[in-house]
Every structure is written in structure tokens, then in C-alpha cells.
Amino acid sequence: MTATQARRTRRRVPARRRVADAVAVVAAVLVVFPIYWMALSAVKPASEIQSLAQRPWTLAPTLDNFRRVLGAEHFGRYFLNSLLVAVLVVLLSGLVAFLAAVALTRFRFRFRTTILVLFLVAQMVPVEALTIPLFFLIRDFGAAVPGIGLNTLGSLVLVHLAFSLPLAIWMLRGFVAAIPEEIEEAARLDGASRFTILWRILFPLVAPGLAATSVFSFITAWNDFLFARTFIISATDNQTLPMALLVFFQPDENDWGGIMAASVLMTVPVLVLFVAVQRRLVAGLGGAVKE
């Protein structure tokens, strides 16, 4: 490479970097702006929300929208129902996915590859296409197993568990595969049982992967509207938080301030979870692609 070519290369690198930085900034703005506008609308009075001259700030911030939402009937119960469903889905999917990932990684048996392919295919099926069949399945299943039928929180836990497990197993399988088998062999030589190896060696090592899968499982269950609307038909006490937004949609005029305030309150638990597991989340996403 000549000196002229080297100088041109040095000039090109900063230019490419500036373009990449500009693209990253634009992408960040596109992602953050809707969240900012939601939070801004939550503290705006109704007159500013309905005004044709919209501003990226508010002249009279107010907490009336939040007071109205928190004072709405059943809002606290809906919040606890959503939290219960999401936490149960996270715990059960994490436990089952961890055991399945270990079995699919450490043991050799027939149809192992077929099972993995089926897990992948399950992620490709649209949720909407399965809603009606799941409705009849949950209805019939509830007649035999109390607490899992229609109008129960158990039906939501079961359905979300079925949809979150394939992705969780795939991610944890890659993470378990990245752990050297020599660690387990050394523990076995020291007299450790299979149970001890599973829970005291493998489980702590795959904790970052569990954090990553837990976030996806929590968000899916927490934000669900379709299944809650389909399976919880008449039991008002078993409705979840997304259903609370329907209270602020009125036939004559929608309460956009209440809708935005409720949306902010729904976002807070997800943000708290992200902050709590952000370090393990990054490590888990990296470990999920290792083999």
C-alpha cells in the first residue's frame, strides 16, 4: 500500500465512524421519542393533549392523570394479577427451560435434533393463528383440571408458559453448551451427586442466561392483551393490567391522559427489571449464541 492510499484509508475510517454514530443517534431517537411522548402526555392536562398545536413540553404539568388511574376501580387488583402471572411464568419457564436445556445438551438420545427443530418451528407460528384452538383447549382442559380453565389466571400462566419455553430452551441450550463438561467431571470425581452438579455448579453458571430469558418471558406475559381478552371473559377480578386501559376508551371521547398515565405505570416494572438484571442480560445474550 502506498503512502497516498494509506492516507485515504485513514480519512475514510473517521468518516465511516461518523456515519455509524449518526445512524446510532437517529435509531436511539426513534426508539426513545415514543416513550418520551407517552410520559409527557401522562403529565399534560387534557386541554394540551387535545390541542392542535402540540409542543414537545408542557406548560402546566399535572399528576391528575395518575390520580385518576390509581383511583380507578380494580386497577390495583389488575396490577397484582399481571404481576402474579408474569412472576409465575418467569419462575416456571426458567426452571423447565433450564432442565430441558441441560438434557438436550448433556445427553444423547433419539429425536433430540427433531425436538430442537420443533421448538424453532413453534416460534414461527403466529400467536393469533392459535388463539381460537387454545380457547377450546383451555375450555375443555378446565373441565378436568380446576384452576386452569376459562376465567382463571392459571389459563394465562399455562398459555404464556407454552409460548415462552421454546425460546428459553434455545437460549439456555447455547449457554449450557458453553460450559466445559470437565467441570462436571471434576465435581463427579469429588463425589458430587447429579443433583449437586445440577443446582450448585450448572445453575449458578447459567444465571446470566436465565436473566435474559426471564426478561423476555416477563415482558411477554406482562404486556399480554390478546390472551387476557380471550380467556378471561366474565371474571372481572381475574383481569390483568392491559385490560385496565379499556376503561379509558370511551364511546364519545377517549381519555388520552389516563391512557398515557396507565401506560407509564405499566412500563415501570419492566424498566425496574431491566435495571436489576442489565449486566446479567448482556452476558446472557452473549452466551446464548455460544456453542
133: Cα separation from own chain's centroid: 24
Q: How many domains does the chain have?
A: 2
Residues 104, 14 share a domain: no
DSSP for 137-190, written as a single string: HHHHHHHHSTTSSTTSHHHHHHHHHHHHHHHHHHHHHHHHHTS-HHHHHHHHHT
Per-residue model confidence as pLDDT tens digits over 89-124: 999 999 999 999 998 888 888 888 888 888 888 788
Residues 20, 81 share a domain: no
Within a domain: residue 221?
yes
Query: Span 73-79, mean pLDDT?
Result: 86
Residues 196, 80 share a domain: yes
Residues 221, 94 share a domain: yes
pTM of this prediction?
Answer: 0.82
Per-residue model confidence as pLDDT tens digits over 265-280: 999 998 888 888 776 6
Residues 105, 148 share a domain: yes
The whole-number pLDDT of residue 291 equals 43
Within a domain: residue 48?
no
Give the structural domain span for 216: 74-287
In the chain, % of residues over pLDDT 90: 20
